[in-house]
Amino acid sequence: MEEGRTLPAVQRAYLYIVALVAIHMVVLAVANLLRVGAEITMNAPSGGFTGLPFVFNDFNRARDLYREQASLAIALLAVGGPAWWLSFRAADRAAHRDVAARASAIRSFYLHLVIFVTALLVFGYGQRTLTLFLQWTFVGALPGILLEPAWSARAAGAAAMVLSAAGALLYHVRVSLADRRATLIGGRAAEVRHLALYGLAVIGLLFAAFSTGFTLQGLWDRVIADAIAPQSGPTFGSPGGPTRDENLVAQLIGQIPPILSGVALWLGTWLPLQRGLRQPTADGGVERRSVIRKLAIYFIVGLSAIVVLVSTTFGAAAVIQRLLGDPYQDQTTSLVRDLGFPISFTIIFAPLWLFHRRAVEAEAARESELARAAAIRRSYTYVVAAFGLAMTAIGTAGTVGVLGSQLLGMNAHPKGETATYLALVLVGLPAWGFHWWQAQRRLDEAERRAPQRRAYLYLAVLGGAIGLLVFGSAALYRLLNAALAADFPLSTWHDIWHFTVDAAVAGTVFAFHLRVIRADRGVTAATPVAEAAPAVFTYVVRVPAPNAPAARARLAAALPEAQVTPADAASGEGDGGPSIAAIAGTVIGALLLVFLVASFALPFFFSPQSAPPPPRIAMATKPIWVANFAEPSTFTTTGGASVDTRAGYLVLTFKEAGRATITFPEFTPPFMAVALIGDPPESDGTLIWRVRTAGDRSIAVRLNTSTDYIELVYEDLASGITEVLGHPARIPATNGGPIEVAVLVRTPIYSVFANGQELINVADDRVTATSTPLSLSASGTTGAIVLLELRVHEAP
């Protein structure tokens, strides 16, 4: 190769792509050679090929496995090592000869993709190494807590990957710093670097924040909640197993590595980036103008705000639920314990929110252009306002709907649901009101024309319009359906009320924001639009000069009206805005971060709190009778219904319209009958369980598989009358599990329980036989109803 030759862009891209693949081959090879050596030295079983666990997954041939893994690692090193050395050496020499090649986007892409991947390898495998070591040091002696088999070999294997990846990481960080010292890195090359480094900073910060939140919650539950309101319910665990304190120690040990590694990753990237902002140089200007930096800060501010608002909502709901009548403490939980999650996560994410909110304000103050400063402020204000508006609308619709259910006498909403609606209003309304007040306080023509304000307003109008159409149509459908059937039961009015309230709230949001849009249009239309500024074009001009000030002076003399800004010679972008590559990379990075956060955070926020299963009814009383489903003579079926008892329980299947009836022995009150009923999805059937019968008259429990309600009814087959006793009740959630229905028969008083909660208590003396048989009848068209268990106990 000639000494002064400049490599074409295609050839440079080829060399960097080969180097990119080869360096990862080298990292895997070195890590696995060290791991195999450690496992052989420790005489431990193989833990799989690090980085490629699917290559060798037959662990029954230990000696062959070592040989095959070592052979693959040596082959990767023998091929990847020379390939990386030759390709990167050629590309690096060309970059040292040509400044434009050294500041090119393809070189930055190679360097910072390697830095991003190897940093994550050090981050992940470092956590595993530290976790195994801490577990052996502090948890290994605790009874009942098992360590991972051959933990020392597993730790050595993870440490081998840390050493291998750290070597590649340090080398490429050194090359990146050398490039920045040699020339100005701007344009797309700078965007790629910012995408990698700010992505690492966000990942580290969120890992540390969420891990710290879970740690504080564990400490709160064990130290504070147990001291103030200890659990009185049963505890689970085998004799001689770990105590709750020992389980807490194991949990804390498991959270320390994510916290430490997350903080290290965040500080290791954030602090150098912050130092670069303060430099009064062209490189500092590139850092301050970074679009990726602003997106990273906005992402953290938005996520922190959402977590704080959600945590505050959970806390307020827990308090309101007790004010509505739920006990302060029961067997499984208490108010103090329910406040553990909101307090722990608010303590962590509220400072993050405030810190990065100040960073947003600092970004706005640092901007030399007032328009860009206002855009930064508006983005934050309207995003939080939109989230607060959604919380307020949902909470208001739910609260008013529950109030109507109470007035109609059909309030089957649990107190926890009602408390959540009220909490959404109490938290969301101030959040929306404060930020909307801030926006209105600064209202001028520029604010009215701002795209951030218009995006918020049109999004609110769109959401309100869709809600109005959907819920209005649903209310009208229920009204017309009942009118055509000439039947207006209370349940229909209940549904119409809820749909009407939802439509009214959506319509209010729609009308309010539509009015604001019209007011903005009226002001902006009356004000003449300023004459459009002349278009600005960006060119890359190469000026020979002894130094940068001299070059700037020559340009100013030749083009006095031109704005001279140092630009990246390779990208030709200057201050023209974010490139397509930056936008695409930012979107991909944001999706990866959202997936990462969702994997760890959303299961906790949106799944029910773990707790012991609901208490079983009447387990403390003496059982009188337990059903034996293997007696086919007691079953009768018609139509498309069939009965199957081969699995040890009763399955009533419907392939088309049909009916099945089952009769059981007679019992004399008082007694408690308990049934465990399974409700497979996609089933459509009605179960009628008669607990008291006298001739054609009976008292029965009616359960429809397509709804969440249970009823106690009086039947008179002779006259065809079916009367609902009391009010229909919503069945408490079982998270997909079976429903335990119990009926306490103390003639003339009947009490119905579902999953341990008393839902119905009525008195009716129209069925007064001394002893009557229990019976079940089920009708349906599709699916199945499963009776897992049926028993009768003495009345408690």
Measure Cα distances from 414 to 326, 405, 587, 730 in Å: 10, 12, 41, 8
pLDDT confidence of residue 527: 62
List, in order, residues 6 or more apart from 280 with CB less than 8 Å away: none
Report the alpha-carbon distance of residue 789 to residue 776 in Å, rounded: 13
List, in order, residues 6 or more apart from 203 with CB less than 8 Å away: 120, 123, 262, 265, 593, 596
Both tokens of 511, joined, read 């009308």
Q: Which of 595, 645, 618 is nearest to 792 (CA)?
A: 618
Rounded to 5 degrees, φ, ψ at 346 are: -70, -40
Q: Which of 528, 498, 536 is nearest to 399 (CA)?
A: 498
Rg value, the chain, Cα: 35
CB 401 within 8 A of CB 424: no
| 452-490 per-position pLDDT tens digit | 899 999 999 999 999 999 999 999 998 898 888 887 888
Rounded to 5 degrees, φ, ψ at 54 are: -85, -5
Query: Which residues does residue 651 pair with via DSSP β-bridges, in sequence order?
Result: 644, 786
Q: Count other Cβ atoms within 10 Å, centred on residue 529.
A: 9
For 720-725, the CB contacts below 8 A with 24+ separation are 725/699, 725/750, 725/760, 725/762, 725/764
Using CA of residue 511, residue 513, residue 515, residue 521, what is the dihedral sign? Answer: negative
Both tokens of 66, joined, read 């070592």
Ranges in the chain, pLDDT < 50:
1-4, 233-241, 369, 531-533, 567-616, 618-619, 632-633
Measure CA of the first residue to CA of the last residue in the chain; give whole Å. 96
pLDDT confidence of residue 484: 87
| 515-546 per-position pLDDT tens digit | 999 988 888 776 655 544 455 555 667 677 77
Rounded to 5 degrees, φ, ψ at 287 are: -65, -45
| 772-782 and 684-694 beta bridge pairing | antiparallel
Report the alpha-carbon distance of residue 751 to residue 512 in Å, rounded: 48
Q: Count other Cβ atoms within 10 Å, centred on residue 578.
A: 16
| 253-277 per-position pLDDT tens digit | 878 888 999 999 999 998 888 887 7
pLDDT confidence of residue 2: 42
pLDDT confidence of residue 157: 86
Using CA of residue 76, residue 82, residue 87, residue 92, what is the dihedral sign? Answer: positive
Both tokens of 192, joined, read 């790629």
CB 676 within 8 A of CB 740: yes
Q: Count other Cβ atoms within 10 Å, centred on residue 592.
A: 12
pLDDT confidence of residue 594: 45
Which 8-state DSSP code applies to residue 116? H
Both tokens of 697, joined, read 């008259």
For 320-329, the CB contacts below 8 A with 24+ separation are 320/418, 320/419, 320/422, 320/423, 321/415, 321/416, 321/418, 321/419, 323/419, 324/415, 324/418, 324/419, 325/415, 326/415, 326/416, 328/229, 329/229, 329/232
Both tokens of 470, joined, read 């959907």
Which 8-state DSSP code applies to residue 458? H
Angle between helix axes 291-323 and 415-441 (nearest 10 degrees) is: 140
| CA geometry: angle 414, 335, 343, nearest 5 deg | 110
456 three-state secondary structure: helix
Task: Give the position of tokens 């670069």.
Answer: 276
Report the alpha-carbon distance of residue 474 to residue 482 in Å, rounded: 12
Torsion of CA 297, 302, 303, 308, to 10 degrees: 120
Both tokens of 21, joined, read 């693949």
CATH code, 623-794: 2.60.120.560
Angle between helix axes 105-134 and 187-219 (nearest 10 degrees) is: 20
Using CA of residue 169, residue 172, residue 177, residue 180, what is the dihedral sign? Answer: negative
| 128-172 per-position pLDDT tens digit | 888 888 877 776 555 555 566 677 888 888 899 999 999 999 999
Burial of 518 (0-12, 13-18, 19+ CB in 10 A): exposed
How many residues would you count in the chain? 796
Q: Count other Cβ atoms within 10 Å, centred on residue 270.
A: 18
CB 624 within 8 A of CB 657: no
Read off the amino acid at residue 271.
L
pLDDT confidence of residue 389: 93
Alpha helices in 573-643 (DSSP H): 580-600, 602-606
Q: Count other Cβ atoms within 10 Å, centred on residue 727.
A: 18
Alpha helices in 324-450 (DSSP H): 335-338, 340-366, 370-408, 415-441, 445-449
CB 314 within 8 A of CB 594: no
Q: Which of 19, 22, 15 is nearest to 1 (CA)?
A: 15
Read off the amino acid at residue 576.
G
CB 581 within 8 A of CB 574: no
pLDDT confidence of residue 565: 56
Burial of 770 (0-12, 13-18, 19+ CB in 10 A): exposed
Burial of 312 (0-12, 13-18, 19+ CB in 10 A): buried
Both tokens of 248, joined, read 């807490």
| CA 271 to mean position of chain CA atoms | 28
CB 31 within 8 A of CB 77: no
